[in-house]
C-alpha cells in the first residue's frame, strides 16, 4: 500500500486544475498582449473578481446543500438600490444604509429558505418566484430610474487602491473567502451544510436540523448577494435598477468550474475563487483582442456543459466499480449513492433483506 505524497494530495485537490488553467491563460494571453499584465489591467481584473467572487459564493453555499438560488441577482439588485436610495432619499449615513441593505439581503434569503423548508417545494420554483417578487419591488421603488445621490465617500471607496493595483473593494471579498473557508472546514454549521447536501435523509437521522440548515444557507446566500450589490454601487457610483440582471450564469459558472457538485455535498472556496478569476481573464482577453465581449456568455455556457459532462463521465466510471448492492441503489436513484462519502443503506442492510 503506497502512501500519498504531499504533491499527489495537492494535485488531487479541486483548486489545482483551475490554478493551472489560470497560470497558463495568464502566460498565454500576456505573451500575445503585453498590456494584459499592466497595472491598470490587473486592477480592472481585481475589481471584477472582487464583485463576481461574492456572487459566486452566494450561489456556492446553496449548491452545497444540493439546491439552487435563481434569485441571487434579484436580491443583490434590491439591496443595491435600497443602499443607494436610503442615502439619497432619506439622507442616511453610508454605514447605516450599508447595515440596512445587508439586513434586507438576509431577510430575502431567510424568506427563500423558510418557504423551501416549510412547503417542501423545489428551490428552483421558490427562487424563481421570489426572483420576480424582488425584481418587482426593485422596479416599483426606482420606477426604473437610477439613484445618483451616492456620497463621495462611497464613490471614493469604489475607486480607491489599497496597495499597487489592489483595490479596496478586494478587501471585503478576501475576508468573506477566508470566513467561508473557515465555516465550511472548521465550524459545525459548515459541516451541517455539506452533510445536508450530501445526503439529506442521513443528515436528518444523525440529528441535524435540515430545515434550520437550509434557512441558514439561504440567509448566508442573501447576505453575500447583498454585499455584492452594495460594492457594485460603490464601483459604479450610482444605484442602477439593472444591477443583478446578468448574475445568474456567472453565479453557476464559477462554482461549477471550481468542481462543485450540483447535487450538493461538495464545494471548494478556493476553486470557486479561481473559477471567478478564469471568467475574468476570459472576459478581459475578449476585450483586449477586440472580440465581442458578449461572447463570454457563450463561453460560460460551454464551460458549464463541459464541466458537468466530465463530472457525469467520472461518476459513471466510478459506478462500474461499485458492488451489486450499490448498483441496485443507484438504479433506484437514491440520494445516498449520489454522495460517495455517505454509506449506502443497501450496503449495510442485513443479508436477509438484500
Residues in the chain: 354
What is the rounded (10 degree) CA torsion for 201, 202, 207, 209? Answer: -40
Cell of 248: 445568474
Contact in structure between 277 and 22 (CB atoms under 8 Å): yes
Is 70 exceeded by the pLDDT of residue 235?
yes
Q: What is the pLDDT of residues 110-119, one digit of tens each?
A: 999 999 999 9
pLDDT at 102: 97
Q: Tell which residue, 230, 220, 228, has the closest CA to residue 83.
A: 230
Buried b (16+ CB within 10 A) or exposed e, 325-352: ebeebbeeebbbbbbbebebbbeeeeee
Within 10 Å of residue 111's Cβ, how many Cβ atoms? 20
Q: What is the pLDDT of residues 297-330, one digit of tens each?
A: 888 888 888 877 776 776 666 666 655 554 444 4
Q: Distance between CA atoms of 78 and 5, rounded to whole angstroms? A: 48
Q: Tell which residue, 323, 353, 354, 351, has the closest CA to residue 337.
A: 323
Q: What is the pLDDT of residues 249-283, one digit of tens each?
A: 889 988 988 878 777 888 999 999 999 999 999 88
Cβ neighbours of residue 27 closer than 8 Å, sequence gap 6 or more:
none
Is 70 exceeded by the pLDDT of residue 350?
no
Contact in structure between 36 and 237 (CB atoms under 8 Å): no
Cell of 151: 456620497
Domains, the chain, ordered by start? 14-321 (1.10.3470), 324-354 (no CATH)
pLDDT at 332: 46
pLDDT at 315: 63
The CA-CA-CA angle for residues 79, 80, 86, to 5°, reads 85
Q: Distance between CA atoms of 273 and 57, rounded to whole angstroms? A: 8
Q: Tell which residue, 335, 345, 181, has the closest CA to residue 264.
A: 335
Q: What average pLDDT score do residues 277-294 get? A: 85
Surface-to-core class of residue 61, CB atoms within 10 Å of its CB (0-12 exposed, 13-18 middle, 19+ buried): buried
Average model confidence (pLDDT) across the chain: 86
Sign of CA dihedral 88, 94, 99, 102: positive
Q: Tell which residue, 173, 147, 157, has the closest CA to residue 92.
A: 147
pLDDT at 330: 44
Amino acid at each position: 500500500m503506497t502512501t500519498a505524497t504531499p504533491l499527489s494530495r495537492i494535485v488531487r485537490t479541486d483548486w489545482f486544475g483551475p490554478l493551472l488553467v489560470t497560470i497558463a491563460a495568464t502566460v498565454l494571453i500576456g505573451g500575445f498582449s503585453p498590456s494584459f499584465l499592466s497595472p491598470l489591467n490587473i486592477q480592472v481584473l481585481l475589481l471584477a473578481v472582487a464583485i463576481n467572487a461574492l456572487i459566486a459564493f452566494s450561489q456556492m453555499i446553496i449548491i452545497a446543500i444540493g439546491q439552487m438560488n435563481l434569485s441571487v441577482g434579484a436580491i443583490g439588485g434590491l439591496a443595491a438600490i435600497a443602499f443607494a436610495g436610503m442615502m439619497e432619499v432619506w439622507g442616511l449615513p453610508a454605514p447605516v444604509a450599508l447595515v440596512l441593505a445587508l439586513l434586507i439581503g438576509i431577510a430575502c434569503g431567510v424568506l427563500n429558505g423558510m418557504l423551501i423548508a416549510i412547503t417542501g417545494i423545489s428551490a428552483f420554483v421558490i427562487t424563481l418566484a421570489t426572483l420576480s417578487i424582488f425584481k418587482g419591488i426593485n422596479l416599483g421603488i426606482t420606477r426604473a430610474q437610477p439613484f445618483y445621490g451616492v456620497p463621495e465617500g462611497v464613490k471614493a471607496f469604489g475607486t480607491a487602491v489599497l496597495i499597487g493595483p489592489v483595490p479596496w473593494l478586494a478587501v471585503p471579498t478576501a475576508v468573506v473567502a477566508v470566513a467561508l473557508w473557515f465555516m465550511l472546514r472548521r465550524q459545525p454549521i459548515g459541516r451541517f451544510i455539506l452533510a445536508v447536501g450530501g445526503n439529506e435523509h442521513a443528515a436528518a437521522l444523525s440529528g441535524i436540523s435540515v430545515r434550520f440548515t437550509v434557512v441558514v444557507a439561504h440567509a448566508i446566500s442573501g447576505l453575500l448577494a447583498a454585499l455584492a450589490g452594495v460594492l457594485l454601487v460603490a464601483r459604479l457610483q450610482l444605484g442602477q435598477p439593472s444591477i443583478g440582471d446578468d448574475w445568474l450564469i456567472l453565479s453557476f459558472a464559477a462554482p461549477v468550474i471550481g468542481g462543485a457538485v450540483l447535487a450538493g455535498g461538495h464545494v471548494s472556496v478556493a476553486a470557486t475563487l479561481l473559477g471567478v478569476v478564469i471568467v475574468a481573464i476570459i472576459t478581459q482577453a475578449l476585450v483586449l483582442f477586440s472580440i465581442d465581449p458578449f461572447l463570454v456568455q457563450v463561453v460560460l455556457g460551454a464551460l458549464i456543459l463541459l464541466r458537468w459532462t466530465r463530472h457525469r463521465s467520472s461518476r459513471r466510471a466510478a459506478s462500474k466499480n461499485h458492488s451489486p448492492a450499490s448498483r441496485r441503489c443507484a438504479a433506484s436513484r437514491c440520494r445516498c449513492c449520489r454522495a460517495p462519502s455517505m454509506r449506502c443503506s443497501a450496503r449495510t442492510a442485513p443479508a436477509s433483506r438484500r
